[in-house]
Amino acid sequence: MLTALRRWWRYLAAAFSSKVEASADPKIQIEQAIEEAKRQHELLSQQAAAVVGNQKQLELKLGRAIEDVEKLQGSARRALLMADEARRGGDTAASAQYEDAAQSFAMKLVTEESSMKDLKGLHDQSITAALSARKAVETNALNLQKQLAERSKLLSQLDNAKMQERMNSALKQMNELAPKGDVPSLAEVRDKIETRYAKALGESEIRTDSVGSKMMEVEKAQLDSEAASRLDALRVGLGLAPAVDAPATSSTVETGQVAGAGTTSQQEPEKVKETGDA
């Protein structure tokens, strides 16, 4: 049971990490990487500074140890010379004291020389470590500079990628197969207009083919015929020539109306003539 819970917890952690990684902003991730590189360089610089500082401290200690050794050597020599002078002067007691003093200086000299030897070995090691630390700092500084240059390049590529994504989105919206968004496309507007136009044409065709439409056409033709006949009668009464481009009629109703109008036109001039004779 515990093993299953651990596996489930690891699965949830991995799924959450993958989702966070997928939704993370690359620009922020780049800045995080640069900040981490700067922090690592700062830590390395501090460690290198500590190594170099240790070298300088060992140099100071070694310098003091060398001075102490030289002083002890000089004191031991001086004590030996004074012991020899006292022995030549017959002062055995003073000569013995000077010999003891020389012995003490010699013992201290041996101790200081051993310490100086150890310090010299540590100093040599510190020099090697300091050189390595300086080289590591220089190498890391170059890597940091490369990362900074890489950041500029990556940011430029990120901007280009965003621009390309916006361009692809715009082209996708212009595509007829693109899903509907907040603004309709021209293809959708065209389909809507064509649908309304086709519906209007269909209604017009249905109404044109109906009986009422035919009756209206007959009535209009009749009115046109009567109007044409009346105009011809007026022209004859005024002594004008009849219209040459009179509209031709094809239906029986129009022909009958034109014939009736012609008879009436012939009677009206006779009445006008009788009136003139009177």
pLDDT in tens, 224-267: 888 888 888 888 888 887 766 544 444 433 444 433 444 444 44
Residue at a domain's end among 132, 164, 196: 164
Q: How confident is the model at residue 135 (pLDDT cuts 50, 70, 90)?
A: very high
Q: What is the mean pLDDT of residues 85-112?
A: 88
Residue 242 contacts residue 235 (beta carbons within 8 Å): yes
Residues 31 and 114 in one domain: yes
Kindly report the number of other CB atoms within 10 A of residue 178's CB atom.
Answer: 13
The owner of tokens 């009179």 is 246
Q: Which carries the bigger pLDDT value, residue 13 or residue 63?
A: 63
Provide the pLDDT for residue 246: 46
Q: What is the overall mean pLDDT for the chain?
A: 78
Confidence of residue 210 (pLDDT cuts 50, 70, 90): low
Shared-domain flag, residues 248 and 145: no
Q: CA–CA separation, 99 vs 49, rounded Å?
A: 48
Domain-embedded: residue 268: yes
**What CATH number corresponds to the domain at position 28?**
1.10.287
Asked if residue 254 lies in contact with residue 225, where contact means CB atoms within 8 angstroms, the answer is yes
Q: What is the pTM of this model?
A: 0.47
The predicted structure's pLDDT at residue 24: 67
Token pair listed for 261: 């109008």
User: Is residue 132's pLDDT more than 70?
Assistant: yes
* pLDDT mean over 63-68: 90
Q: Among the listed ranges 38-47, 133-142, 161-170, which one has the minimum average pLDDT value? A: 161-170
Instruction: Answer yes or no: is 269 within a domain.
Output: yes
User: Is residue 39 domain-shared with residue 126, that is, in the same domain?
Assistant: yes
Q: What is the pLDDT of residues 154-190, one digit of tens each?
A: 888 888 888 888 888 777 766 655 555 566 767 788 8
Check pLDDT > 70 for residue 35: yes
Domain of 110, in residue numbers: 23-164
| Region label for 239, one of left (φ > 0), alpha (ψ between -120 and 50) or beta (otherwise) | left
Pair (134, 38) in one structural domain: yes
Answer with the residue of higher pLDDT: 18 or 25.
25
CA distances, 166 to each of 21, 97, 144, 159, 169 (Å): 22, 100, 33, 11, 5
For the chain, how big is the Rg over CA atoms in Å?
Answer: 61
Other Cβ atoms closer than 10 A to 144: 16
User: Please, which pLDDT band fits residue 43 given cuts at 50, 70 and 90?
Assistant: very high
Query: Are 156 and 221 found together in one domain?
Result: no
Instruction: Specify burial of residue 197 (Cβ count, 10 A radius: 0-12, 13-18, 19+).
Output: exposed
Total domains present in the chain: 2
